[in-house]
Amino acid sequence: MLKKAICISALFSLILSAGPVKYIAHRGDYVDAPEGTVAAYRFAVERHYDIMKMDVQKTKDGVIVMSHDDNLKRTMGWDVKIKDVTYDEIKQHGPFKPVGKFTDERIVTFKEAIAIAKALPEIWIDAKHFDAEFMEEVLKQAAAEGITEDRIMVATFTKAAILYLKQKHPSIRRVLHVSITQDKEKNVLTTSASKSNPKVECATMDGIVEEIIAAKERMGLYGVNIPSAGGFVTADVIKKLHDAGLWVSIWYVNKPEVAEKFRAAGADAFVTRGADRIRPKAD
């Protein structure tokens, strides 16, 4: 059994290092099914994504469920926060808003989702909030499905989660979500990558890059997930991040022309809802 486990680990290590661009299934592949549902996760497996992005939330009774939003209004039409209702209440309330032929898709537990997602080479856990007990339970459930820590990335805006993993689970790759917005009145950019404030103002993208590199050193980052929108991220920005030793993922990449732009710029991965639409025929 030990020899078999070593062989499997070696196989996944080979897969992880292969390919010019990795495709990350954002909430599953939800072009043809409601996001974050069993159907969306199955489509992502069938369409050969490299990484499954898994947005985890916790219900009132402690069940870990899949949802990008902490509120169910957008996906179910029910204006409640997940943390304020039980898993059974969510299940009984009704299905997600229909997409295509999928009219009765219900909330999915992390256990159900990971049983599907484990077919992909990598798992990307997006902790929408953080406490140590919650994080440990997520990792425990992943391990129960045979997901070793070398196959896991945790990508989040929640810096407390990244710092906790740096200390307790250093083998898990840590990726920081980074926002970049422009204040046209002040003629400055702001980013969430700073240490002391939720956002810090920078005069140029060089200042943003400096903040990101400082965050890498501070938190021991493997990579960053940065936005495609706004025209802020260029080939030069990606090169500087690469030179600092960072893996660079771009969100969201849902159009072929956007994919081509960031592929040419040297990005390592795309967060997308429809890989088949943006993947070159040769990939």
Question: By the 8 A CB rule, do 192 and 157 touch?
Answer: yes
Query: What pLDDT shows up at residue 129?
Result: 84
For the chain, the 3-state helix, strand and coil shares in percent, each to the nearest 5, are: 40, 20, 40
Q: CA-to-CA distance for 277 and 26, rounded, in angstroms? A: 14
Indicate the domain borders of the chain: 2-33+45-57+117-278
Q: How high is the pLDDT of residue 138?
A: 98
Q: What digits encode the pLDDT tens for the residues 176-203?
A: 999 999 988 888 888 888 776 667 788 8
Amino acid 14: pLDDT: 38
Q: What is the pLDDT of residue 12?
A: 43
pLDDT of residue 188: 82
Which bin fits 257, alpha (ψ -120 to 50), beta or left (φ > 0)? alpha
Assigned superfamily of 2-33+45-57+117-278 = Phosphatidylinositol (PI) phosphodiesterase (3.20.20.190)
Q: pLDDT by residue (tens digit) across 128-173?
A: 889 999 999 999 999 999 999 999 999 999 999 999 999 999 999 9
pLDDT, position 283: 54
pTM of the predicted protein model = 0.90
36 pLDDT above the threshold of 70? yes
Q: What is the pLDDT of residue 7?
A: 45
